[in-house]
């Protein structure tokens, strides 16, 4: 019997649909065009969920996610006593109110691991899911509590699970504090169990898929972010010669565990080049409210300029295509390398589609760095050296044959590996294949 090839998907995620975060952009792209009555999202995302892709959203509360025992009963008291925050990763303090001494002591003790959480399928959430009648559970996991909740939903509703992994730092967390080692052991155990019971395993890129297939067993399929190359055509540059001053552009999130320090290194290099007489500026486009104050200050000192991220897709395309160089920074410290070693940022496909020469500044062995090197779409500077970075900036701005080669390789890579129709089709078929394991296999239309 032929059925609709869009299964009814229950999406359990700490990061939902928005234009602010890389994950929010990725999921908005993957699910764009999905029938609205066939998608429901369960999330604890702190960023407001946009409703253009999904309108059925359940926001998790302490009824579903809470601290593990014996700390579970303390959370409400701690949050009230500390002015709205909680030790570890639970949330910010009330603005303008200094934390009490006991809170600072506990905060230091639990580190960034915080107090591990646990997940519970509440009666309210169970009724909400029952009303939706999903055919497959799709999840990117998150905390141990999210994994526990995913397993509870799977068991209660007899749902096949499709798992999509994004970052090594999530699948193998290395956190500081009293519960850091315990959190890592707990996550490894629960993740391995959930993967063993999953119907479909997805990864964010080929490098992750290959390594996780070896580590966890079973097949992994790469489903990265995507881009509609035709939408970029009206904005493409026909002349790749740099303007004066030359504009280096970074657009995207700025995270301490991913690219913040290498972006700041580039800001320093641009200032040094400008002081030496080169006509150059660095324009940074991001959600500035999410920046640390010192980072915002260092990115607001000429010739480095800080801007709010563009609000529309057309504005974003015009912005990238007007740049002379696009910057893809990756931190060199060991913690960042562990976290993002196998990641592929959501910004990479639009960078590629723009055809603007890309400078990649980051350590060798990182998936995004090696992707640029092997496919030839970025000039790679893999030495943590101000001199090497400055030399890379000068070369990518002055070597016109190189600029042309980078541009052609980038656009070709975007069409071959990130084309919207192809990636969405692969994603839809992967979820349909997972859903089919609940009963007789469906006939899925060819892409």
Give the whole-angstrom CA distance, residue 348 versus residue 358: 10
- Summarize the confidence of residues 207-222 as an average pLDDT: 94
- The answer on pLDDT for 87 being more than 60 is no
Classify residue 446: in a domain, yes or no: no
Residues 102 and 127 reside in one and the same domain: no
* Lowest mean pLDDT across 76-85, 211-220, 429-438: 76-85
- The confidence score (pLDDT) of residue 89 equals 44
User: 41-67 pLDDT, tens per residue?
Assistant: 999 998 999 999 999 999 999 899 877
Per-residue confidence at 191, pLDDT binned at 50, 70, 90? confident
Supply the CATH number for residue 200's domain. 3.40.50.2000
Q: Give 192-212 as a DSSP string.
A: HHHHHH-SEEEESSHHHHHHH
Per-residue confidence at 185, pLDDT binned at 50, 70, 90? confident
Residues 16 and 158 reside in one and the same domain: yes
Which residue range(s) make up the domain with 376? 229-417
- The confidence score (pLDDT) of residue 224 equals 98
Give the whole-angstrom CA distance, residue 419 versus residue 395: 30
Per-residue confidence at 446, pLDDT binned at 50, 70, 90? very low
Residues 198 and 295 reside in one and the same domain: no
Classify residue 442: in a domain, yes or no: no
CA distances from 80 to 73, 84, 116 (A): 13, 6, 19
Residues 56 and 74 reside in one and the same domain: no
- Summarize the confidence of residues 242-271 as an average pLDDT: 97
Q: Which residues pair with 379 in a beta bridge?
A: 359
User: 């609205």: which residue's tokens?
Assistant: 36
- Summarize the confidence of residues 109-118 as an average pLDDT: 66
Token digits for 378?
A: 């970025």
- The confidence score (pLDDT) of residue 186 equals 75
- The confidence score (pLDDT) of residue 170 equals 72
CA atoms within 13 A on the CB side of 355: 21
Residues 167 and 297 reside in one and the same domain: no
Quick one: the chain helix, strand, coil %, rounded to 5? 45, 15, 40
- Please confirm whether the linkage preceding 191 is cis (ω < 30° from 0): no
User: 387-414 pLDDT, tens per residue?
Assistant: 999 999 999 999 999 999 999 999 999 9
Q: pTM here?
A: 0.88
Residues 265 and 412 reside in one and the same domain: yes
- The confidence score (pLDDT) of residue 72 equals 54
User: 152-173 pLDDT, tens per residue?
Assistant: 999 999 999 999 999 886 776 6
Residues 197 and 343 reside in one and the same domain: no
> Residue 92: how many CB atoms within 10 A of its CB?
10
Residues 53 and 201 reside in one and the same domain: yes
Classify residue 255: in a domain, yes or no: yes
Coil, strand or helix: which one is 8?
coil
Q: How many domains does the chain have?
A: 3
Residues 94 and 142 reside in one and the same domain: no
User: 224-241 pLDDT, tens per residue?
Assistant: 999 999 999 999 999 999
Classify residue 73: in a domain, yes or no: yes
Classify residue 237: in a domain, yes or no: yes
Classify residue 351: in a domain, yes or no: yes
**Mean per-residue pLDDT over the chain, rounded:** 88
Classify residue 4: in a domain, yes or no: no
Classify residue 299: in a domain, yes or no: yes
Residues 78 and 19 reside in one and the same domain: no
Residues 233 and 132 reside in one and the same domain: no
Residues 219 and 178 reside in one and the same domain: yes
User: 323-368 pLDDT, tens per residue?
Assistant: 999 999 999 999 999 999 999 999 999 999 999 999 999 999 999 9
């Amino acid at each position: 019997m032929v059925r609709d090839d869009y299964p009814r998907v229950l999406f359990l995620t700490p990061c939902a649909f928005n234009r602010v975060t890389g994950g929010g952009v990725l999921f908005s792209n993957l699910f764009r065009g999905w029938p609205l009555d066939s998608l429901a999202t369960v999330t604890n995302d702190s960023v407001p969920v946009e409703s253009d892709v999904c309108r059925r959203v359940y926001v998790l509360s302490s009824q579903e996610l809470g601290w593990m025992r014996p700390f579970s009963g303390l959370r409400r008291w701690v949050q009230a006593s500390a002015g709205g925050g909680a030790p570890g990763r639970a949330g910010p303090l009330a603005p303008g109110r200094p934390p009490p001494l006991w809170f600072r002591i506990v905060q230091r003790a639990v580190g960034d691991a915080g107090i591990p959480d646990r997940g519970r399928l509440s009666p309210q959430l169970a009724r909400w899911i029952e009303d939706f009648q999903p055919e497959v559970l799709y999840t990117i996991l998150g905390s141990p509590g999210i994994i526990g909740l995913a397993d509870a939903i799977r068991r209660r509703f007899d749902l096949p699970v499709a798992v999509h992994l994004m970052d090594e730092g999530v699948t193998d967390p290395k956190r500081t504090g009293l519960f850091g080692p315990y959190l890592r052991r707990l996550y490894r155990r629960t993740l391995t169990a959930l993967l063993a019971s999953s119907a479909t395993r997805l990864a964010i890129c080929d490098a992750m898929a290959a390594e996780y297939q070896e580590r966890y067993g079973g097949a992994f399929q790469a489903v990265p972010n995507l881009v509609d190359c035709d939408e970029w055509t009206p904005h493409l540059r026909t002349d790749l010669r740099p303007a004066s001053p030359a504009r280096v552009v970074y657009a995207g999130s700025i995270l301490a565990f991913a690219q913040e320090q290498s972006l700041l290194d580039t800001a320093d290099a641009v200032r040094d080049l400008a002081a030496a007489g080169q006509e150059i500026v660095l324009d940074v486009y991001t959600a500035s409210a999410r920046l640390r104050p010192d980072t915002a200050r260092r990115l607001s000192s000429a010739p480095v300029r800080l801007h709010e991220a563009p609000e529309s897709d057309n504005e974003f395309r015009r912005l990238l295509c007007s740049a002379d160089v696009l910057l893809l920074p990756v931190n060199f410290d060991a913690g960042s390398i562990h976290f993002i070693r196998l990641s592929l940022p959501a910004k990479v496909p639009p960078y590629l589609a723009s055809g603007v020469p890309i400078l990649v500044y980051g350590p060798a062995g990182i998936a995004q760095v090696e992707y640029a090197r092997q496919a030839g779409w970025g000039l790679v500077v893999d030495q943590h050296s101000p001199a090497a970075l400055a030399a890379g900036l000068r070369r990518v701005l002055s070597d016109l044959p190189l600029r042309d080669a980078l541009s052609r390789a980038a656009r070709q890579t975007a069409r071959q590996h990130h084309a919207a129709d192809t990636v969405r089709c692969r994603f839809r078929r992967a979820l349909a294949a997972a859903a089919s394991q609940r009963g007789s296999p469906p006939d899925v239309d060819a892409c």
